[in-house]
Structure 1
Amino acid sequence: MGSSKKLHIVLLEPFFSGSHQQWAEGLKKHSSHRIEILSLKGRHWKWRMHGGAISLAKQFNELTEKPDLILGTSMLDLTTFLALTREKSSGIPVAIYFHENQLTYPWSPQDRDLKKKRDNHYAFINYVSALSADKVFFNSEYHKKSFLGSLPSFLKQFPDKREKDQLKGLTEKSEVLPLGLDLSRFDDYRDSDKEKQSEPVILWNHRWEYDKRPKAFFKQLFRLKEHGHAFKLVVLGEQNDVNPPIFEEAKEHLKDEILHWGYANTFEEYARWLWRADILPVTSKQDFFGGSVVEAMYCDCHPILPNRLAYPGHFPKKIRRDYLYEEGELEVRLETALETFMYLRQIDYQSLVKHYDWSELIENYDDALRNVVEL
């Protein structure tokens, strides 16, 4: 336990939407510190990483009160922000929270910058932002290890003066603060009729993007249907201007199984569908934490997750095999889950993830943020 000093913290979020917005608002709501959020709308992510710091620096320079701590997030070019606010930010401790990073995040094959070899700059923004901060927080142990572990090979591609001696200090000031989630708000929408439903419900509750590997997910469902397995399907999640074509194909191919298709317009609708679902097969290529997975598990949905990325960190070692699959095992694990879904409905998955609720995590956050100021 740290002291009881209450801090004034300015939280900088260039991409204020989705999980980033929920995290920022959750921290502000639950923290004993006074959190002031400066933000920009969550769109045009590349431009936010380039220009967001300029806009947020302008907002910061207009503040009348000097905060005790500046807390940026991973979409912020912290070096540019600090340069443009140096008269006002000088002497204020700075921390950065990594929701994701562009060094180990897989790029879309359709991204024009990838073909032009222009993907290094965004990773470099993350790297120098971490170097510039007094403290670096990651949302999972996997995220921390993958980012720090990838830096030596990332720097190796540059011609000289790579300053690899900086990595030791970066590692020493890095720490894990799991993603805080407002899980208890799901409690009001628990579905007491779930036990009466005679067919298992498969769930997708992620973004409609390629890194979640929707093609692999739906191909598994096509096979299940061809083999005569009965199931229903709920497809939720944020959609983009250009969704992977597999979604339209799946909507037609699985039309008889679909209970819901598309973004839930209210939290209540989203929560009720999670409580209604039985099985969450995940095919993601990348997940630094897995907020949508944790939310589904909190609503007692059985997860079938790849044994990689951040997922192993959600389970004690002795039961990981029950929920994590190796390459090539997903089809068999899914079939087994469909055959035993009535039994799976009796398992308490919520107890595995309820420690991510803000009520359980906020004291750790408050102490960690206080410690940055007391460094």
Structure 2
Amino acid sequence: MSVLLLEAFYGGSHKQLLDLLKESVEDCVSFTLPAKKWHWRARTSALYFMQAVLANSSYRVLFTSSVLNLAELVALRPDLGHLKKVLYFHENQLVYPVRKSQERDFQYGYNQILSCLVADVVVFNSSFNMESFLSSISTFMKTMPDHRPKDLERLIRPKCHVLHFPIRFPDVTRFLPAHKRLRHPVRCDDIHAPAAKSHIQTSSPSSYPDVEPPEKMLNVAGTNQSHEPTSVTPHQETASPLCGHEGEKLRPLHIVWPHRWEHDKDPQLFFQTLLKLKDRQLSFEVSVLGETFTDVPDIFSEAKEQLVDHIQHWGFMPSKEDYLKVLCQADVVVSTAKHEFFGVAMLEAVHCGCYPLCPKALVYPEIFPATYLYSTPEQLCKRLQEFCKRPQLARQHVVQVSLSSFSWDSLGDNFRSLLKADSGRMFTDKHLA
């Protein structure tokens, strides 16, 4: 085995990526720890992998996420230090939201900085993730009382690149309701499109992708005024009733929230918004999905009781198929996150035909055009209120999101190049073409 894959938190998007690499990259072996007790994984996983990974002279590349303290592992296992070491950031701890500044544990961000210093290649899943990390290093280190290191960003930045998280979009045609099936065929990784240009970006300062001006995008009522959409939400070929068949007009708007049940996803804002819709006697249904961990915010049990008459689905769905079915039946997917560096769940929901509503912050402006972004809680409430009154505005809309840019079909070759020992310790121009 020439590629050693290590994952200290084998769950969620970390698991999705590792499974894709194991399946698609030749000559790999993996070692993982369950996705539990994240803080202990960040503190101690290096010691576990020191013992779990047997010495093997055939290893050439080591790939790990930033949960692992790579510096500790290399110190404990000098034989692994000779490999091409690739560090992948799903998130970064320098800007992770905490309720109070004194609650931030310095060690987690410090571990990630150390890991970057010993890695050969540092890869981020978004430009927002990379720039927020690099630009925060200096301020973060100032929390040290004295003898602060200098120029760490200058040492780390040349190693850094952006390679979007790759999603394998499944064919969900069989789960789509009539009004979604009326549109052109679903695009998925089972149907190979022409290869897109490389999505690896260097760490030189860059702006987010240009957003189409409103007049070039599909308006809320669903009139395609410009280019063919690249979303899986298909283009309507013919005029049709509100949702494709008789009686569908009466079905309430179905809102889905598919995020981790933790405070950084701001469930408080989401449920407060739904309670406002309820107080205004608006019709809607809600599905609250996503994984739960040790500490679930109290707002979930409170909201379940208060919204009981509106609930379609409540709780994590271990079956991916069942999860996709719910997304396909939903009309609008909402993020209220205070912490998001990519957002797989939002893109999966768009793939299933949902209209996205996201904060105008974090990674979202990098992925979603301005029409899907809200700046204030009041704007979010107003948009949902409009959709509750006229669900067809969401159901007939063609979402303008380039899903192909984030598909494994487009990004797989870049990951294979990343894991080649003979490609050198840094990317070269040929990888950026």
TM-score calculated relative to the size of structure 1: 0.89
State the partner residue of 2:132: 146
Tell me the SS of whatever aligns to 2:255.
Answer: strand
- Residue of 115, 123, 132 corresponding to 1:137: 123
After superposition, give the CA deviation of every residue in 1:134-175 in whole Å (9 maximum; x if it has no partner): 110011100001010111111122244433223213111100
Tell me the SS of whatever aligns to 2:386.
Answer: helix
State the partner residue of 2:87: 96
Tell which deviates more after alignment, 320-329 or 134-143.
Answer: 320-329
- Give distance in 2, aligned partners of 1:370 and 1:202: 43
The 1:308/1:234 distance shift into structure 2, 3 A limit, reads same
* 1:36 partnered with 2:29: yes
State the partner residue of 2:391: 341
The 1:293/1:118 distance shift into structure 2, 3 A limit, reads closer
Tell which deviates more after alignment, 344-353 or 231-240.
Answer: 344-353
> Which runs of structure 2 are paired with 1:252-263 in the superposition (5 Å)?
252-263=305-316
* Percent of residue pairs identical: 34
Q: Is the 8 A contact 2:116 2:122 kept in 1?
A: yes
Q: Is the 8 A contact 1:12 1:72 kept in 2?
A: yes
After superposition, give the CA deviation of every residue in 1:90-116 in whole Å (9 maximum; x if it has no partner): 42111100111221111356xxxx75x
Tell me the SS of whatever aligns to 1:136.
Answer: strand
Name stretches of at least 5 consecutive residues in structure 2 with no aligned partner. Answer: 181-242, 426-433
State the partner residue of 2:71: 79
- Residue of 318, 330, 338 corresponding to 1:285: 338
| AA aligned opposite 1:357 | S
State the partner residue of 2:374: 325
Tell me the SS of whatever aligns to 1:208.
Answer: coil
- Give distance in 2, aligned partners of 1:245 and 1:274: 25
State the partner residue of 2:152: 166
> Which runs of structure 2 are paired with 1:1-375 in the superposition (5 Å)?
8-31=2-25, 33-60=26-53, 62-86=54-78, 88-107=79-98, 119-192=105-178, 195=243, 197=248, 198-315=251-368, 320-327=369-376, 328-349=378-399, 352-370=402-420, 373-375=423-425
The 1:130/1:185 distance shift into structure 2, 3 A limit, reads farther
- Give distance in 2, aligned partners of 1:185 and 1:167: 42
- Give distance in 2, aligned partners of 1:271 and 1:264: 10
- Give distance in 2, aligned partners of 1:255 and 1:225: 11
- Give distance in 1, aligned partners of 2:76 and 2:407: 36
TM-score calculated relative to the size of structure 2: 0.78
| AA aligned opposite 1:221 | L
The 1:344/1:123 distance shift into structure 2, 3 A limit, reads same
Tell me the SS of whatever aligns to 1:312.
Answer: helix
Tell me the SS of whatever aligns to 1:183.
Answer: coil
- Give distance in 2, aligned partners of 1:172 and 1:256: 54
Shift of 1:349: 2.9
- Give distance in 2, aligned partners of 1:188 and 1:79: 47
Tell me the SS of whatever aligns to 2:122.
Answer: strand
Shift of 1:46: 1.4
Shift of 1:23: 1.3
- Give distance in 1, aligned partners of 2:397 and 2:2: 43
Greater helix proportion: 1
The 1:373/1:336 distance shift into structure 2, 3 A limit, reads same
State the partner residue of 2:225: none
User: What is the count of residue pairs matched by the alignment?
Assistant: 357
What is the alpha-carbon root mean square deviation over aligned residues?
Answer: 2.1
